[in-house]
Amino acid sequence: MENKLDFLAVGDIVTGAFIKLPDAHVDLHAGQREICMRFGDKLPFDSVVVVPAVGNSPNAAVSAHRLGLNAALATDLGSDGFGKEQMSALTSEGIDTTYVRKHDGLASNYHYVLRFGPERTILVKHTNFPYKMPSLKSAPRWIYLSSLADNSLPYHHEIISYLQTHPETKLAFQPGTFQIKLGVDALKGLYKMTEVFFCNKEEAMLITNTKESDITVLLKNVHNLGPKIPVITDGPNGAYALDGEDVLFCPMYPDPNPPVDRTGAGDSFSSTFISALALGKNIREALEWGPINSMSVVQKIGAQEGLLTREKLEDFLSKKPANYQTKKI
């Protein structure tokens, strides 16, 4: 008998070139932080680390698999060398690749990650693949949907239709850049089908079209769009969730050392939260699981090297500081 699929991650896969910059500075312009470098010059870089098979959804699939779930990835890649490397990396991680589609004549996604200190700026370009909802062998317990290209609106409607006919499958939605740009109206059916929704504070303000920065208000505003359980992260200030009636808060797990690279911190938090629910934990417990994996991920370059097994995560949890706990606010 085929094993039940616990976790199907849906979204684009990329190869990331992580370029460490020694010579840059950050300015504040029109309320936005901007990375600045000399124009028309040759700029040195310290190092480059190329990591295949990353991106929000692949990161989530690897996270869920390492935590003990039967995880698969539905994604699209090209027939080029980068696509072959991406497929090989997924296979080596033990990810079910049944729903990975290869397209002749199209380029696999390749992004450039400019690292300056622990922060990063990513140069992105998503290939416009002919997205199509895969024919699933059985209904997964969770679909985890994240970043897709800006030609993906019909694909989202196919996902909505699938969820409407398979109520046994729950949706976790962590919108990427293009999905946020599509706007709530274009994806209102998806928001209404969402069990757990993830974003950071700035994204929540953008999604709900408000200057309101109070996270309690933002949680309720996102909830009003349809998601049953909205979860909002606020960087080092912690993470918040609306659990039916209660607003819950959990601080960040303390970093053992200064962060090396914050890429993938959000992916690791969100996917670990869902994995905890899939493993039978409640929302309060899931809110404590997520930051531990984020803490580990930012100690490494890239979004996957630091992802923990369940055994290692629970070891960190057993050694948590006294103030590391979910509380009602």
Please state, rounded to an integer, the average pLDDT across all residues of the chain: 95
Residue 154 lies in a domain: yes
Q: Are 79 and 105 in contact (CB under 8 A)?
A: yes
Helix axes 310-318, 283-297, angle to 10 degrees: 100
Q: Are 194 and 173 in contact (CB under 8 A)?
A: yes
- pLDDT for position 281: 98
Residue 213 lies in a domain: yes
Query: In angstroms, rounded to a whole number, what is the distance separating the alpha carbons of residues 25 and 36?
Result: 5
DSSP 67-126: TT--EEEEEEEESSHHHHHHHHHHHHHT-B-TTEEEETT-PPEEEEEEEETTEEEEE---
Question: What does the buried/exposed string (b/e) look like for 88-98 if buried means 16 or more CB atoms within 10 Å of the residue's CB?
Answer: ebbeebebbbe
Neighbours of 232 (CB within 10 A): 24
- pLDDT for position 1: 38
Residue 1 lies in a domain: no
Residue 191 lies in a domain: yes
Written as tens digits, the pLDDT of the chain (329 aa) is 357 899 999 999 999 999 999 988 888 777 788 999 889 999 999 999 999 999 999 999 999 999 999 999 999 999 999 999 999 999 999 999 999 999 999 999 999 999 998 888 999 889 999 999 999 999 999 999 999 999 999 999 999 999 999 999 999 999 999 999 999 999 999 999 999 999 999 999 999 999 999 999 999 999 999 999 999 999 889 999 999 889 999 999 999 898 888 878 899 999 999 999 999 999 999 999 999 999 999 999 888 999 999 999 999 999 999 999 999 99
pLDDT per residue over 156-188, tens digit each? 999 999 999 999 999 999 999 999 999 999 999
What's the token pair of residue 229?
């359980």
pLDDT per residue over 257-280, tens digit each? 988 888 788 999 999 999 999 999
E strands present in 92-237 = 100-103, 109-116, 119-123, 142-145, 170-173, 194-200, 229-233
Residue 136 lies in a domain: yes
* Enclosing H/E stretch for 52: strand 47-54
7-10 and 109-116 strand pairing:
unpaired
- 3-state DSSP call for residue 149? coil
Query: In angstroms, rounded to a whole number, what is the distance separating the alpha carbons of residues 186 and 171?
Result: 17
Q: Are 279 and 68 in contact (CB under 8 A)?
A: yes
Helix axes 81-93, 56-66, angle to 10 degrees: 20
* CATH at 79: 3.40.1190.20
Residue 93 lies in a domain: yes
Task: Name the residue range of residue 301's domain.
Answer: 7-12+55-106+131-328
Query: In angstroms, rounded to a whole number, what is the distance separating the alpha carbons of residues 180 and 269?
Result: 19
Residue 149 lies in a domain: yes
Q: Which residues contact 214 (CB under 8 A, 6 or more apart)?
A: none
What's the token pair of residue 128?
């416009």
Taking CA atoms, 328 is separated from 23, 239, 245, 301, in Å, by: 44, 12, 10, 34
What's the token pair of residue 204?
């929540």
Residue 17 lies in a domain: no
Q: How many domains does the chain have?
A: 1
